[in-house]
Amino acid sequence: MESKNENQRNAKKRSYDFAVLIIKFIDNLDTRNLTNQIIAKQLIRCSTSIGANIIEAQAGSSKKDFTNFFGHALKSANETLFWLNLLSDTRQIHSVDFYKIQTEAVEIAKILGASILTLRGKR
């Protein structure tokens, strides 16, 4: 069983690696059309926000702060999934790329959700 600190380090590293993956993906996305430009900007914002909120959580002054920032990170992960699904459903993203990115977004969301439940004493 992983300790709380190991889970936090894992979430921090995975969210950083995920942001790098998204940035590389966006760099290869055809942003010549306005729709893709807008979605790309939204996707960059929310996907990079996951890791930023995890960093803020670790700097929080209380358990409540920590839990709140993890909640914001989870919301950003869910928003990331929304934009990815939109790209997929409009056929702007290849299925292999989508599957890899979506799988990691779901896994990060699960880690954050489980951490929040544990912090709230509901698990």
Q: Per-domain residue ranges for the chain?
A: 4-119
Q: How far apart are CA 106 and CA 20, in angstroms?
A: 16
Alpha-carbon distances of 73 from 15, 97, 116, rounded to whole Å: 9, 22, 10
User: What pLDDT, in 10s, does the model give residues 47-106?
Assistant: 999 999 999 998 888 999 999 999 999 999 999 999 999 988 888 777 677 888 999 999
Tokens of residue 73, six digits: 């990170």
The CATH code that applies to domain 4-119 is: 1.20.1440.60
Query: Rounded mean pLDDT of 26-42?
Result: 90
Calculate the CA 106 to chain-centre distance: 8
- Convert 52-90 into a string of H (helix), E (strand) and C (coil): HHHHHHHCCCCHHHHHHHHHHHHHHHHHHHHHHHHHHHC
Is the pLDDT at 118 greater than 70, yes or no?
A: yes
User: 102 and 84 in contact (C-beta within 8 Å)?
Assistant: yes
Using pLDDT thresholds of 50, 70 and 90, give the confidence band for residue 5: low
**pLDDT, averaged across the chain:** 89
Whole-prediction pTM value?
0.88
7 or 110: which leads in pLDDT: 110
How many whole angstroms separate alpha carbon 74 and alpha carbon 70?
A: 6
